[in-house]
Structure 1
Amino acid sequence: MVQISRAIVHEIPKGKYSADGEHTVALSSAETTLAPETRRFIEENMLDFGLKSPRQIVEDPDAGSTTPTFIREILSDPDRFVDASQGIALNLHRAQTGNSPSGVLIVATVTDAGSSSVIILKAEHAEGMRLRRVGDEATGRFDLQHLNELIVGNNSRIYKIALLSEATGGVAGDMVDQQNGVAFADFFMSAFLGCRLADNSEVQTRQFMQSAMNWVNKSVPSESDQARYATALIAYMGSPATSFQATEFADQFLEAEVRDDFVRSLPDDVATSVVNKDLALVPGQGAGLRMYAPGVVVSASAVALERGDLEILSEEGQSTTIRIRGSLKRYGLGSAPKG
């Protein structure tokens, strides 16, 4: 369990930083004294709950953030705690995007499994109602009071949390983005924390599938080949294998004369590497394929494609026929597709 040793709170304004902007960071000039119940609430309802499923992050020197330097200062020199935390708060404001809401930044030194770390927690303001009884039980009533600066606990998805410590090669630790799930906000992880994912396989998996599908749509002239390659991509990525390799896919499923062009269309770090497969960021986790025509969208599962339940036939005159094996089970209502 994470235990807080020292803490300080700063208020971060909404929106993107501007040198001449009217909104500035409200900095604390002294540590925040935490009552026992407040400390318990933060430790149990915010930190322990929020850090149940973290992702490992490591310092990225190319990010250009000074936050890792401030982390090292806090861990090595207790007298730098307040000043370094102020620098961290200013870094967050400068890194924010235009739609970033206001909130508070909690910087704390903690012990976790006997080692010292720094917690950085961004919590947005929330709204709620407080129930208050006025008068006695016989003649009294209940009043409701609107509260617009709540910082709530484990029922909310308003936190970004990083638990960082010194490691070989720089600062490293865990991060959770409860707003974006596995799709971490880049401004927070990179521009602010100065870190990157220790394993970004889900990003590389998405890059591979998106780039491969873009290549199918833009570089393959034959509609029958497009259908064959797109179906092969879904089958390849849906296999039980825990990793994938672009050149392996090309060798197994693409005609020899287009393989080099396909590999060149991919990002460099995906084109030649063996990548751990993680479909978390892929729409539908790669479990199906959609086909688009003017006013028409057809969707098929990977299982149906593998069984051959759907056949795409390219005909003369820029005409395509989609043949479904078996009978249609039912029709349903839905929104009209775009385009």
Structure 2
Amino acid sequence: MPDFSTLILKSIFMHQILLVGEGQDRSFGLALTDVPVELNDRDRGFLRSRFVDALRSGALAIIPNDEVDTPTPSLVAKHIEEPGLKALSHDLAERLVAAQRMNAKSGILVVADAVMEGKTSVLIAKVEHQEAMQAKTKKLPNGDRALSIKRIPDLVFGDQNRIYKVAILSPDAEEQANISGYLADVQNSGRFATYFISEFLGMRLGDEPEVLTKKFMDTMTEAISASSMDAEAKMEAQAALSVTLKSNSQSLDPRRFVKDHIPQVHQTFVFRAALERGAPPVPFNKDIKMVKNNLDNIRIQLGSDISIVAPTEAIGSDSRIKVERNKENSVAETYNITIPDVPLENVKNTRSR
């Protein structure tokens, strides 16, 4: 993942997406603007921080989707080559209105020139539009104190306003016409609305479900191993990982997995360690075709040259292969492993692994 904290916002256009009409005559309309919004440094910094937080918490890589016909990638590429943010933002607003379903929400479309990691980019976001009340105290001529209430009908950003979706698009370093980037769909808890990612942006996820599933398994395994959990907790977590991957669920949620299967005191470390290693930060569709051969057994590495491979359900303090903390060793963390009452079927030389 890129360093989203390097995001810099330059010129920003905002257009209102309106829901007009009633009943079957309802449709989306536009209230377009012709000049960039005026923001002081404090407000610009606040806006930037909200976008950075959204991207950090849920962005996945997106690349052009050759199976859909939408002008957004070419419009962005043209703008980066020949800047014209007003025209780009108007075109994108019209495209969004044409693409989104009637069950989508109205709001504000934000289109901004941006730089991230030194790379010229375009930020596109759909955010909540709220009305708010502003309260001010004042003193009356007779000395009494009063509260003045003023409605603010066009509040765009506040602490409680939601960012529905935010994308950052950039050209390829070698081919400016090739546009790719990152998208966070906060509104759908990480699942990406088809109308937005495909019909509006003209993109698809950069990694297929089977690749994301393998990343999830590999990075979560590494994070569990790197944690300070004891051996039994690590084995239980690894067994839960295998069960989760083999379940009938059609999707995987890394954050939910950590919350459900990692001891609370270790949850923050494991989740962060998995993200640092490339785990998807949001729920995604599951496909185990690349990992299904690795889900039946667990390998326990004992020191540098001894290992045990056994079915997931056969290992644990209450299982056939008992792994228990050696409480008599106060100097180092060691374990007693017992495999009682099993036949010795075969002994042979083998190569090291």
What residue in structure 1 maps to residue 192 of structure 2?
184
* 1:121 and 2:139 are equivalent in the alignment: no
CA change 1:244–1:194 in 2 (3 A) is farther
CA change 1:270–1:131 in 2 (3 A) is closer
What residue in structure 2 maps to residue 274 of structure 1?
290
Secondary structure of residue in 2 paired with 1:73: helix
Secondary structure of residue in 2 paired with 1:6: strand
Q: Distance in 1 between matches of 2:45 and 2:10?
A: 12
What residue in structure 1 maps to residue 71 of structure 2?
66
Give 1:157 deviation, angstroms. Answer: 3.3
Amino-acid identity (%): 28
1:228-252 Cα distance to aligned partner (Å, 9 max, x none): xxxxxxxxx9553897799xxxxxx
Q: Distance in 1 between matches of 2:153 and 2:194?
A: 28
What residue in structure 2 maps to residue 47 of structure 1?
51
* 1:193 and 2:201 are equivalent in the alignment: yes
TM-score (norm 1): 0.56
CA change 1:201–1:82 in 2 (3 A) is same
Give 1:32 deviation, angstroms. Answer: 3.0
Secondary structure of residue in 2 paired with 1:182: coil
What residue in structure 2 maps to residue 88 of structure 1?
92
Long gaps (5+) in structure 1? 206-236, 247-268, 277-302, 308-339
Aligned residue pairs, count: 225
* 2:136 corresponds to which of 132, 136, 144: 132
TM-score (norm 2): 0.54
What residue in structure 2 maps to residue 150 of structure 1?
155
What residue in structure 1 maps to residue 242 of structure 2?
240
1:63-89 Cα distance to aligned partner (Å, 9 max, x none): 2111111111111111x3221221111
Give 1:103 deviation, angstroms. Answer: 1.4
Q: CA RMSD in A?
A: 3.9
* 1:107 and 2:123 are equivalent in the alignment: no
Q: Distance in 1 between matches of 2:106 and 2:192?
A: 18
Amino acid at match of 2:198: S
Q: Distance in 1 between matches of 2:187 and 2:287?
A: 31
Q: Distance in 1 between matches of 2:244 and 2:155?
A: 43
Give 1:204 deviation, angstroms. Answer: 8.8
Secondary structure of residue in 2 paired with 1:48: helix
**Following superposition, which runs of at least 4 residues in structure 1 exceed 6 angstroms of deviation?**
202-205, 241-246, 269-272
CA change 1:151–1:108 in 2 (3 A) is same
- Kept in 2, the 8 Å contact 1:119–1:164? The answer is yes
What pairs with 1:5-44 in structure 2 (closer than 5 Å)?
Answer: 5-14=10-19, 23-44=28-49
Give 1:94 deviation, angstroms. Answer: 0.6
Secondary structure of residue in 2 paired with 1:133: strand
1:241-276 Cα distance to aligned partner (Å, 9 max, x none): 897799xxxxxxxxxxxxxxxxxxxxxx99994269
Give 1:201 deviation, angstroms. Answer: 2.3
Q: Distance in 2 between matches of 1:189 and 1:33?
A: 29
Give 1:170 deviation, angstroms. Answer: 2.7
CA change 1:145–1:22 in 2 (3 A) is same
Long gaps (5+) in structure 2? 1-5, 214-238, 249-284, 293-312, 319-353
Amino acid at match of 2:191: A
What residue in structure 2 maps to residue 164 of structure 1?
169
Q: Distance in 2 between matches of 1:190 and 1:15?
A: 25
Amino acid at match of 2:168: L
Secondary structure of residue in 1 paired with 2:204: strand
Secondary structure of residue in 1 paired with 2:34: coil
- Kept in 1, the 8 Å contact 2:17–2:29? The answer is yes
